[in-house]
Amino acid sequence: MNYCSHCGQTVSLSIPPGDHLPRHVCQQCGMIHYQNPKIVTGCIPEWEDKILLCRRAIQPRLGLWTLPAGFMENNETTEQGAARETREESRVEVEIDSLYAMFNIPHISQVYLIFRAAMLDLKYGPTDESLEVELFSEDEVPWDELAFPVVREILIRYYSDRRQGGFNLQVGDIIPAMKTDMGNHPF
């Protein structure tokens, strides 16, 4: 962040009085600009023994498969956001069942909230955000073509729960492996 959204002057990174973390602070008007994690919300759309995945038509990870999910918008609940994202990415209307997974991804400041959801019908298809939309049974999931580590982890746990006959709330963290060659940063 370079400029204050309140008065337009430049901001500097400093620790405001009473705080313990560096924040972007406007030296002109004193406005403190907090930057907080983004919430990603989405669904595991279920139809009988299959789930719906979308092949991404946008970056990041263009061409790879994912659950329909995206950033929450202001003035919506997590469930509304999950249903909206599912509709935007797959044209599917869903009935939200329950929260299934909450994953922290601190290195990119995101929190994922993924719901189990029943598809209301078989009307689905690609959109501006998805090249393809398909139903998959567990043995058909394109495991080597999943877009994000968090999606892989959620699906591994989902299928494990399904085999055990019950679904429990899954909570976890996605921490990237460190690259050791040439001093690269985590990816």
Note the pLDDT of residue 179.
54
Check for a shared fold between 1-35 and 38-173.
no
For the segment(s) 38-173, the CATH number from 3.30.70.1520, 1.10.260.40, 3.90.79.10, 3.40.1010.10 is 3.90.79.10
Measured distance CA(150)–CA(119) in Å, rounded: 22
Q: Which residue has the tokens 């400041």?
A: 109
Contact criterion met (CB below 8 Å) for 101 and 170: yes
CATH class of 1-35: mainly beta
HSE-CB at 175 with a 13 A cutoff on CA atoms is 3
Note the pLDDT of residue 95.
98
Strand partners, 53: 134
Select from 137, 114, 110 the least CA-distant residue to 47: 137
Measured distance CA(26)–CA(161) in Å, rounded: 49
Note the pLDDT of residue 178.
66
Domain boundaries, the chain: 1-35, 38-173
Measured distance CA(64)–CA(82) in Å, rounded: 20
Mean pLDDT by runs of 10 across the 187 residues of the chain is 95 94 95 95 98 98 98 98 98 98 97 98 98 98 98 98 97 83 41
For residue 39, the one-letter residue type is: I
Note the pLDDT of residue 67.
98
- Please tell me the pTM assigned to this model: 0.88
Contact criterion met (CB below 8 Å) for 185 and 118: no
Q: Please give, one letter per residue, the 3-state secondary structure of the chain.
A: CCECCCCCCEEEEECCCCCCCCEEEECCCCCEECCCCEEEEEEEEEECCEEEEEEECCCCCCCCEECCEEECCCCCCHHHHHHHHHHHHHCCCEEEEEEEEEEEEHHHCEEEEEEEEEECCCCCCCECCEEEEEEECHHHCCHHHECCHHHHHHHHHHHHHHHHCCCCCEEEECCCCCCCHHHCCCC
| Burial (CB count <10 Å: 0-12, 13-18, 19+), residue 172 | middle
Select from 106, 80, 23, 90 the least CA-distant residue to 52: 90
